[in-house]
Structure 1
């Protein structure tokens, strides 16, 4: 087959035109999201594993995610960094900036990596529905304490899961003497009741509900967008993979998180500076 410079040029022009059209559409959507957030009184952000991939952590249903590899009969992806080296990324700090701008009402997260707290989100502004790997909780008084402050040595006492055997001399809650377990929610464990209740309440009051980096398939956490929409909230979804809520979303972004979230926050700040 002969090479046709005319066909090549036509194809190239088509690709360039579509690139600019797609980029213009993306910019319009970013502008719309920013205006919604700017006008919002009760913005709720909901995050999944996707927001932490830039920090070196695997997600679950991405191309090389934990569940994706499991379904292919492959072992889990290897950590690129040690846990001591894992730090919050620009996406985490963009959410902190929304809080500092007075636009974030509440954060709901499915992540256990503790990066939102490390980035500066206060615990009273956040529900970590699946727990936090750095914290234990008391089964009696529901108090929280870090493994370090509890004096819990994982080499001696194990990971502290609910189903682990109880040792006679293992550390107890310093407040009430109750049993301490890891705050991480494993399969079959109930979600933390107080944080779930608060997450539902904030979702009901949301006027903009912004999903970032979640496939929205793990319930009951994944029910939050529906709760928000039933009460009149706009729904924005930013996730590379598909979700069950894609057709219900008022704005849907399939781009990389930082490609969208960073300019949205910058535009919100610009709107606030002008007001």
Structure 2
């Protein structure tokens, strides 16, 4: 395993990946790619989850108080999301997808920044859902978050206009069943890639944390870009410890200038 801590070496390494257009690349992103866009790591000390315990899915279903607490938390997170913009790392992944190099992007994030960076929706798997909009738990209809503020401020759980079912942010809550179809698609993508990139994930949250190992067992190279050690560093061919947004600054520009 090669450890890179120099920004210039990290950029040179990524430039070599960019120039090798034979690689079929799959990427997994975690909170570390978004913290550099101004979104705090909600799991870290001082984050929302350290101040307010996550609402379990069954509690959301059964308790009005739990639902209102969850909605209040979503509005707090939404305020961060609305002030944030994609950084160079988000944009680099979009470039790779547009050039048909990145076949699949699996994200643990729920902030919508990959969509804001114009990443192709058909190659994006939001394995933990999306916290920038709501869906009805009965009919699946989509609804805006901000439109529910008045109901929550009146101490009422938002309901679906179509069927009257409970509305909930479209994120996978603790205790809620993971989307099996998305998981199967992510595993298949990991099995078929030549190179698996991890950007800003601690690789401790499962089942997403298992995907790099699936790729390695299938013969892919593994590159981990994360500020801290992860449990899978020993499986990686290269580990990069430099800030993501700075590392991906000007990514691909040399090739564009040569066109």
User: Shorter chain as normaliser: what TM range?
Assistant: 0.7 to 0.9
Which string of whole-angstrom CA distances, capped at 9 and with x for unpartnered residues, describes residues 41-81 of structure 1?
42111100111112111125xxxxx33447xx9748x98x7
CA spacing shift, 1:112–1:210, aligned 2, 3 Å: same
Residue in 2 aligned with 1:67?
44
Distance in structure 1 (CA, Å) of the matches to 2:245 and 2:150: 38
Residue in 1 aligned with 2:16?
35
Correspondence 1:1-275 to 2 at 5 A? 23=6, 27=8, 30-37=11-18, 38-59=20-41, 66-69=43-46, 75=51, 82-139=80-137, 143=140, 145-147=142-144, 153-156=148-151, 170-172=160-162, 180-262=167-249, 265-266=251-252, 270=255
Q: Which has the larger share of strand?
A: 2
- Asked whether the equivalents of residues 87 and 115 of structure 1 are also in contact (C-alpha less than 8 Å), the reply is yes
Task: Show structure 2 runs of 5+ residues with no match.
Answer: 53-75
RMSD: 3.4
Distance in structure 2 (CA, Å) of the matches to 1:111 and 1:144: 22
TM-score normalised by structure 2 residue count: 0.73
TM-score normalised by structure 1 residue count: 0.70
- Asked whether the equivalents of residues 99 and 105 of structure 1 are also in contact (C-alpha less than 8 Å), the reply is yes
| RCO higher in structure (CA 8 A, sep ≥6) | 2
CA spacing shift, 1:28–1:67, aligned 2, 3 Å: closer
Task: Show structure 1 runs of 5+ residues with no match.
Answer: 1-20, 61-65, 159-164
Which string of whole-angstrom CA distances, capped at 9 and with x for unpartnered residues, describes residues 63-112 of structure 1?
xxx33447xx9748x98x74432221222112111122221111100001
- Asked whether the equivalents of residues 49 and 214 of structure 1 are also in contact (C-alpha less than 8 Å), the reply is yes
SS of the equivalent of 2:181 reads: helix
